[in-house]
Amino acid sequence: MKQIFTFLAVALVSIHAIHAQIRITRESHGFRPGDEHACQAVEYKAPGESGTHVVWDFRDLVSKENIGISGIDAFSGGVFNTVVERNDGITFRYNITNDQVEYFGYEKEGHQYSFTTPIVKTKYPQSYGTFFEGTFAGKIIVKGESAGEIAGTYSTDVDAEGTVLLPEGEKLPVIRVKTTKVTTQWGPACNVMEVIKYLWYAQDIRYPVFVTMETAYYKTNGGERVVLEKSSYLNTNLKRENQLRTTAGLDGIDADFTCKISPNPFREQLNIQYSLPKQSSVSIELFNSQGAKVAVILPKQIREGDQITNYNAGNTVSKGVYFLRFVVDGKVHIEKLIKN
């Protein structure tokens, strides 16, 4: 009996250690220029409990309309350096550093929410137990004219860790991030708006695997809380990066490995430059956005030093998003490409 108890104790510690390793960093989960992030709206799912070793069962999702794809662009200079444009016409603006993500507002059809004191969306790194809060302020602009001021509070709490069960047999260790934003609008209605959002993150998938949120308002301070909307969204790109990394069941590539791919975006010709710290077994393969192999560019032993490999896609590769996977001595490195 004692041996069984000891085994169970060790198993629980091991499971906890696996979940505790999930960390949100800019390198692993931050926005990347050129990314396309597809979401499917589904019927609302309650966020469930917080804490450790939670299991969220989202296997029976009922699809609604497609949210579609968000494009992520990087700008040099200016107050913000990253713009996310969603296909429903909303544009979001951020300033991103290695330490945090600042949210400067959004715009849609001439209506703009511009934060002079931004919301800190993320502080890197984040893991289970991370918590921070702050205040924001700004103004509302409608067709170029000021339409009022806004201010409020926000908080971020990595409040849970466990396993999420998703359609098609996906079972992922995750951490859950809860964000709360309370906004006061000074205007005729004098509303107080509250948005509570839950985001589930896995270690090897850049963007949230699942999101559920609730929007509510108070007509006046202290008045009755009225729920306006409840919504949930599934990341439909779950397998793209994860499959490419795990197809060979291999670890990440050595830090000494460097590569440069140009041009990107590309039309036909692709120049692949990389450097090897020693003679290595190298393969280079091209995958499409669904994880299917499109081309084998290189499988051979290569000497140490700087290397150049050219690939001509011609008319055999259609426009879209692709991934170039290097396997060097049994370790994987992936670069994202866009073909115009």
- Tell me what the mean pLDDT of segment 72-95 comes to: 76
- CA atoms of 203 and 201, how far apart (whole Å): 7
Of 297 and 214, the structure prediction assigns the larger pLDDT to 214
Q: Which of 68, 57, 39, 54 is nearest to 237 (CA)?
A: 39
**pLDDT of 2 higher than 60:** no
Fold classification of 242-339 (topology level): Immunoglobulin-like (2.60.40)
Per residue in 117-142, pLDDT tens?
999 999 999 999 999 999 999 999 99
Q: Which of 238, 236, 325, 246 is nearest to 286 (CA)?
A: 325
- CA atoms of 106 and 120, how far apart (whole Å): 14
- 33: preceding bond cis by omega (within 30 degrees): no
Q: Which of 82, 86, 84, 81 is nearest to 69 (CA)?
A: 86
Domain(s) of CATH 2.60.40.2550: residues in the chain? 242-339
- 263: preceding bond cis by omega (within 30 degrees): yes
pLDDT-based confidence at residue 287 (cuts at 50, 70, 90): confident
Of 209 and 288, the structure prediction assigns the larger pLDDT to 209
Q: Which of 197, 174, 206, 209 is nearest to 40 (CA)?
A: 209
- Tokens representing 277 are 């710290």
C-alpha triplet 42, 46, 48: angle, nearest 5°: 135
Per residue in 38-48, pLDDT tens?
788 899 999 99
**pLDDT of 242 higher than 60:** no
DSSP string, 211-249: EEEEEEEESSTTS-EEEEEEEEEEETTHHHHHHHHHTTT
- Its pTM stands at 0.68
pLDDT-based confidence at residue 240 (cuts at 50, 70, 90): low
Per residue in 151-160, pLDDT tens?
999 999 999 9
- Tokens representing 263 are 């041009």
pLDDT-based confidence at residue 68 (cuts at 50, 70, 90): low
Sheet strands (E) in 51-191: 51-57, 63-74, 82-86, 91-96, 100-108, 111-123, 131-142, 145-165, 171-185
